[in-house]
Structure 1
Amino acid sequence: MKHDTKNILQLFISLQTFGLLFQLSAAIPIGICYGRVANNLPPPSDAVNLIKTNGISSVRLFNPNPESLKPFSGTGIQLTIGVPNEELPSIATSNATAAQEWLQSNIFAHVPADQIRYIVVGNEVFLKDPFYTPHVIPAISNIYEALKSIGLSEKIKISSAQAASILSNSYPPSSSYFDPNILTDLNRLLQFLRDTSSPLMVNVYPYFSYINNREFVSLDSALFRSGNSLHDQDLVYDNLFDQTVDAFIYAMEREGYGEIPVVVTETGWPTEGGEAASGENALCYNGNVVKRGLDNVGTPKRPGIGVEVFLFDLFDEDEKNGNEFEKHFGIFGVNGVKAYDLNFQ
């Protein structure tokens, strides 16, 4: 009997190990952001066909617009759907029942629940849009309770996308820490993410780091082609993407939440409108992001654990505010032709 129990235990451990290795070896899905701040976009049905034709299996939408959502229904494409910042106060000050009604009318009435991967409650609120900061956690709580009441809280994960600016220091990665002014709210978010096995969502743009700090950041490092390496403790970095992702991990460790996974909800490179903005550089950057995701390269801090990424953007967005390059992150033209020869598989 003891011998049988031992064999069963060994088999159980072997199966667990196999399952873990299988998970780690499976390619991370490469997603794309479907921004719609433009006046010349093709119909959403055409956009969905373009997404399917290129083998893209994961899409981030910044708001639950019915016109955009409906064509995804039944396609099997996994969706990450944003709750716009301006919606946060009403959801935060209501209750789980009202949040469930919001989910039903804005999301589940248009696409089935089994296609929803994440709900992103607010985008770049902390520091950048502080009016909405007090509403983020209450809104998340109400949406979570709403999902829990209908048995979807394990299937659909909730988070809030953050800008890299929430890091007061990110260099070197091991010295990173969050801005002290947001720690109270951020720690509440991190506690929720740990309790619900959800990821920290971050928007990572080495392009911005390069153009704003050319004295210290090389173009080669931003484009994954650096011949120079940063030695940080016992880890070695040869690109800015890894440094930024690991900076978030180290900063979470500093707060006691080092086990939380990281999902990059936006990253990309513009094709025109600014210094070093070109199709060639965009292909170099995004091509490396895709390859590293598919190969489960991970980062020096978490090697072999691929980083889930959403590339920005499906199309150029000609009505975006800000610098001219902000309008030119599109991987496809509005006619469906690739701006550069990027493969997603």
Structure 2
Amino acid sequence: MAIQRMRINQRFLPHLVSVFTILPLLSHLTSAAPVGVCYGRVASDLPPPPAVIHLLQANGISRIRIFNPDPEALAPFSGTGIQLMIGIPNEIIPDLANDTVSASLIWLGSNIFTHISPSQVKYFAVGNEVLLNDPYYSPFLVPAILNLYRALQMLGLADTIKLSSPHAAAVLSDSYPPSAGAFDHNLTSVLVPLLKFLNETESPLMVNVYPFFSYVNNHPYVTLDYALFRSSAVEIDRDLEYTNVYDATIDAFVYAMEREGFSRIPVMVTETGWPTDGGDGAGAGNALDYNRNVVMRTKGNIGTPKRPGVGVEVFLFDLFDENGKTGVEFEKHFGMFRVDGIKAYDISFI
């Protein structure tokens, strides 16, 4: 997909820069790590955006991850105060990488900031699981991020909008025990420059964490209770105590970053959740147990054994079931709400 240059006039750029430069800086410091929700839209029966926004506000959900900068999805959020993580699709990455910073600036103006105020944008998630899903795009990931970052600098937004890229746990060649955490050596040519960028810009490593996958793919080594925060057993690793897959996975990433020389990069969980149907261990009760525990740990800034007391920002997956997804059946059943707005189970986000 070519970068869209014609949707914004070049003569508008000086005005664009001057307006964005005077926007007030937003603080990234909060008393508790935030809980957001992913707004997946691969479905044929979703409610209209105004109804979605009402649902979010009624349930105290103030942060949303949108996977694609579709104007139909972005524009309704304008002026609502809801803060956004906006995905930049994998297929756009090569064009952003190969073109100029000015082209990235134009792309941001045309595809993002004409629909939503920069003050509502907290993160750009550049691609999603690029290193595993679309290895063709891997060499372009960091150059695209750098061009976008320089464009945000020109707009005076580089401190308030953070750039990163979500990764699956499978980028780790070793994850058990957590202290053995290490990145796949075939991916470090991309990951190390990315970590350098994250470290220099004080941006988070974005990771998608699914203990449900660990459970269904690793019988009998991962028990259902260990995946659902219900285990009474304690696993000891370097004098640290682990009672669940969630903490162990996050800390495996922390150890993997330390192995590459980066010890201070925060970890953000950009997707996590539990399905209500479609497979062994799926069900509304288990989904409630899992997501309720994630919310509790996040709001309480519990952190992980490796980083106790350091809250981990999280985006729960997913707002609704997505009947348009292909693959295994449980992929369609992560919704926390039905399309009529009724909760699939009694989860609280506050």
TM-score scaled by length of structure 2: 0.91
Q: CA deviation at 1:44?
A: 1.3
Gapped regions of structure 1 (runs ≥ 5):
1-22
Task: Tell whether the 8 Å contact from 1:30 to 1:311 is kept in structure 2 after alignment.
Answer: yes
Gapped regions of structure 2 (runs ≥ 5):
1-28
Structure 1, residues 226-254: CA drift from partner, whole Å, max 9, x if none? Answer: 01111001100001100000000000000
**May I ask how many residue pairs the two structures share in their alignment?**
323
Q: CA deviation at 1:276?
A: 0.8
User: Aligned pair 1:83/2:88, yes or no?
Assistant: yes
Match of 2:126?
Answer: 121
User: Aligned pair 1:284/2:289, yes or no?
Assistant: yes
Match of 1:249?
Answer: 254
Match of 2:219?
Answer: 214
Partners of 2:288 and 2:195 lie apart in 1 by 34
Partner SS for 2:133: coil
Structure 1, residues 142-200: CA drift from partner, whole Å, max 9, x if none? Answer: 10010001100011000000011000010000011000000111001000000111000
User: Aligned pair 1:54/2:59, yes or no?
Assistant: yes
Match of 2:317?
Answer: 312
Structure 1, residues 267-307: CA drift from partner, whole Å, max 9, x if none? Answer: 00000011110000000000000011111111001111111
Aligned AA for 1:118?
Answer: Y
Aligned AA for 2:183?
Answer: F
Match of 1:160?
Answer: 165
Partners of 2:229 and 2:266 lie apart in 1 by 22
Q: CA deviation at 1:335?
A: 0.5
Partner SS for 2:99: coil
Aligned AA for 2:311?
Answer: G
Q: CA deviation at 1:27?
A: 1.5
User: Aligned pair 1:134/2:139, yes or no?
Assistant: yes
Partners of 1:45 and 1:68 lie apart in 2 by 10
2:267 aligned residue (262, 265, 269): 262
Task: Tell whether the 8 Å contact from 1:197 to 1:260 is kept in structure 2 after alignment.
Answer: yes
1:34 aligned residue (23, 26, 39): 39
Match of 2:148?
Answer: 143
Q: Which residues of 2 match residues 168-247 of structure 1 at below 5 A?
A: 168-247=173-252
Q: CA deviation at 1:128?
A: 2.7
Aligned AA for 1:216?
Answer: Y
Q: CA deviation at 1:129?
A: 1.4
Aligned AA for 1:142?
Answer: N
Partners of 1:225 and 1:118 lie apart in 2 by 32
Partners of 1:77 and 1:95 lie apart in 2 by 31
Partners of 2:144 and 2:193 lie apart in 1 by 12
Task: Tell whether the 8 Å contact from 1:127 to 1:182 is kept in structure 2 after alignment.
Answer: no
Match of 2:20?
Answer: none
Partner SS for 1:266: strand
Partners of 2:317 and 2:244 lie apart in 1 by 19
Partners of 1:201 and 1:157 lie apart in 2 by 11
Task: Tell whether the 8 Å contact from 1:230 to 1:236 is kept in structure 2 after alignment.
Answer: yes
Match of 2:104?
Answer: 99
Aligned AA for 2:131?
Answer: F
Partners of 1:98 and 1:28 lie apart in 2 by 34
Q: Which residues of 2 match residues 6-25 of structure 1 at below 5 A?
A: none
Match of 2:307?
Answer: 302
Question: Which contiguous aligned blocks of 4+ residues in structure 1 show a shift greater than 2 angstroms?
Answer: none
Aligned AA for 2:272?
Answer: T
Partners of 2:42 and 2:206 lie apart in 1 by 22
Partners of 2:106 and 2:55 lie apart in 1 by 32
Q: Which moved more, 1:280-289 or 1:102-111?
A: 102-111
Partner SS for 1:145: helix
Aligned AA for 1:333?
Answer: R
Q: CA deviation at 1:127?
A: 2.7
User: Aligned pair 1:340/2:319, yes or no?
Assistant: no
Partner SS for 1:289: helix
1:328 aligned residue (328, 333, 338): 333
Partners of 1:60 and 1:283 lie apart in 2 by 20
Structure 1, residues 200-225: CA drift from partner, whole Å, max 9, x if none? Answer: 00000000000000110010000001
Aligned AA for 2:340?
Answer: N
CA RMSD of aligned residues (A): 1.0
Partners of 1:56 and 1:271 lie apart in 2 by 21
Partner SS for 2:212: helix
Q: CA deviation at 1:28?
A: 1.3
Partner SS for 1:180: coil
Match of 2:23?
Answer: none
Match of 1:109?
Answer: 114
